[in-house]
Amino acid sequence: MRKNLGVIRVNKNSFEGVLGALEQDIMDALWTRGVSSGREVFDILKTKRDIALTTVLTVIERLTKKTLIEKIKGDATYIYAPVYSKEEFTRLVSADMLKRIMRFSTPLAVASFVDVVADTDPKELDRLSELIKAKKKEISRNA
């Protein structure tokens, strides 16, 4: 599991700083389609942008080296699969970002997080409270 995801800037639809634009498009294609050949990923992307197959394959290799994509030997060609689901990846990036923020000030980070949750969806505060209770129980059992 990757522990350091680099500089993180998250916007509504992408993980800028973690993934470049083409990397994001490739991951989105694999998350949507599932296991695919490089050609199949290219066929999806070429409808959205002017791009060469070799460029797509190069970026797929880069994502393989970043351990975000698994390279599987097929009968005639390699096929690729995302190592993490989109949800798992989002969780990893979110956790990494929170850890980085908490290095500056844990109390301020926690207070800000609660404020953001309250501003975004106040109903999630109940869920947050339940998650905290469950985590406290888990910690006390393991102590």
What are the residue ranges spanned by the domains of the chain? 19-80, 84-140
* pLDDT at residue 11 is higher than 70: no
Average pLDDT of the residues in 9-24: 72
Structure tokens at 55: 């460029």
Name the region of 24 (left: φ>0; alpha: ψ -120 to 50; beta: rest): alpha
Global confidence as pTM? 0.75
Q: Rounded CA gap, 68 and 25, in Å? A: 13
pLDDT score for 51: 96
Q: Rounded CA gap, 107 and 38, in Å? A: 46
Name the CATH topology of 19-80: Arc Repressor Mutant, subunit A (1.10.10)
Q: Rounded CA gap, 39 and 89, in Å? A: 24
11 has which bridge partners? 14
Q: What is the pLDDT of residues 82-139, one digit of tens each?
A: 999 999 999 998 888 888 888 999 999 899 989 999 999 999 999 999 999 999 999 9
Average pLDDT of the residues in 12-23: 75
* pLDDT at residue 12 is higher than 90: no
pLDDT score for 7: 45
36 has which bridge partners? 80
Q: What is the pLDDT of residues 39-90, one digit of tens each?
A: 999 999 999 999 999 999 999 999 999 999 999 998 899 999 999 999 999 9
Q: Rounded CA gap, 58 and 143, in Å? A: 47
* pLDDT at residue 1 is higher than 50: no
pLDDT band per the 50, 70, 90 thresholds, residue 27: very high
Residue 69 carries which side chain, given as an amino acid letter?
A: I
User: How big is the CA angle at 97 (ends 95 and 100), to the nearest 5 degrees?
Assistant: 110
Give SS3 for 44. Answer: helix
